Amino acid sequence: MEFELRPEQGVPPVLLGATLAAARSALQGLGFLAVEDFRRAHDEPGALFFTGPAGRVSGFVYGDEDGRVVAIEIANPNPRNAPGEGQDAVVYSGLDVFSTPAPDVIEALYAGTVVEVDGDSVIVPDLFMEFSLGGEHHDRVDDDGGATFFSGVLLAGEGYY
């Protein structure tokens, strides 16, 4: 399945501004094995955690105090190995952000907007997106030990950062 990152809209069928209940229904309709309520801290707004079988993306849908989606975070469906046939694709501007080498994604982003590289984070403030390199389960590295593919991406609504 292909998921398209759409700044200011979301990752259809999960849309920014929708209710968490609508996001839950959309994810369940896609066949995810689990869509569970989640909170990082007791005093934070609600969120959803979703997982699927091997080759499917997993991640979080973050809500605000009113229960509306403010950000969607997606993890690489196969961070330990080269991209596999039958796994989900997460696409922005025609590039699969998890199977395209990170330097190539960054170069494409630089061609169209401002990009801030901060350690393992690549932030695109104009698009409210943040790409993550590394992570505890990320084994695809270059000769210097740097991650060669993104391990996650977050797409947020305006004002999230």
Confidence of residue 12 (pLDDT cuts 50, 70, 90): very high
Query: Residue 144 pLDDT > 70, yes or no?
Result: no
Q: What share of the chain is helix, strand, coil (3-state, %, to 5)?
A: 15, 35, 50
Is 30 inside any structural domain? yes
Query: Residue 90 pLDDT > 50, yes or no?
Result: yes
Give pLDDT, residue 39.
84
Is 161 inside any structural domain? no
- Whether the predicted model's global pTM rises above the 0.75 cut: yes
56 versus 8: the higher-pLDDT residue is 8
Report the CATH number that the domain containing residue 25 is assigned in CATH.
2.60.460.10
Average pLDDT over residues 81-89: 66
Q: What is the pLDDT of residues 15-67, one digit of tens each?
A: 999 999 999 999 999 888 799 998 878 888 899 999 887 778 899 999 999 99
Is 65 inside any structural domain? yes
Alpha carbon distance 136, 139 (integer Å): 8
Q: What is the mean pLDDT of the chain?
A: 86
Q: What is the pLDDT of residues 97-126, one digit of tens each?
A: 988 888 899 999 999 899 999 988 999 999
Give pLDDT, residue 44.
82
Angle ∠(135,152,70) on CA atoms, nearest 5: 125
Q: Which domain holds residue 93?
A: 2-156
**DSSP element (H, E) containing 2:** strand 2-4
> Is 4 in contact with 11 (CB distance < 8 Å)?
yes
Tell me the C-alpha to C-alpha distance, in Å, between residue 45 and each of 20, 24, 95.
11, 15, 32
Count of domains forming the chain: 1
79 versus 40: the higher-pLDDT residue is 40
Query: Beta strands 89-92 and 2-4: pairing type?
Result: parallel
Give pLDDT, residue 1.
86
